[in-house]
Amino acid sequence: MLAPHRMSPNRRRELRERVQQLVRERLGDRLICTRCGAKLSTYADKCAADLDERCPGFNVVDRVQMDAEKEVGLC
């Protein structure tokens, strides 16, 4: 028996999921950090930055996410 993905609509959640999808599509499998050589899929494992430091990979992901949030209307 098939069940719907959600029982009640949650527009904000759907927009956040759309933003995540756009970020994955736009970054794909390209290099996002020149310092550690991380891609979006390997970022969590490869990033060597301290917790109080913003690494280049984080900045790239953050910039793409902010653009996607503006595009879908979250900001």
The residue with greater pLDDT, 10 or 72, is: 72
Q: Does 11 reside within a domain?
A: no
Q: Does 36 reside within a domain?
A: yes
Q: Inform me whether the pLDDT recorded for 21 exceeds 60.
A: yes
Q: Does 66 reside within a domain?
A: yes
CA end-to-end span of the chain, whole Å?
Answer: 38
Q: How far apart are CA 10 and CA 32, in angstroms?
A: 31
Compute CA 33 distance to the chain's CA centroid, rounded to the nearest angstrom. Answer: 14
Residue 67: give the domain boundaries. 27-72
Count of domains in the chain?
1
* Tens of pLDDT, residues 26-46: 999 999 998 889 999 998 898
Q: How far apart are CA 64 and CA 13, in angstroms?
A: 19
Q: Does 52 reside within a domain?
A: yes
Q: Inform me whether the pLDDT recorded for 6 exceeds 80.
A: no
Q: Does 22 reside within a domain?
A: no
Q: What is the pLDDT of residue 2?
A: 58
The radius of gyration of the chain from alpha carbons, rounded to an integer in Å, stands at 15
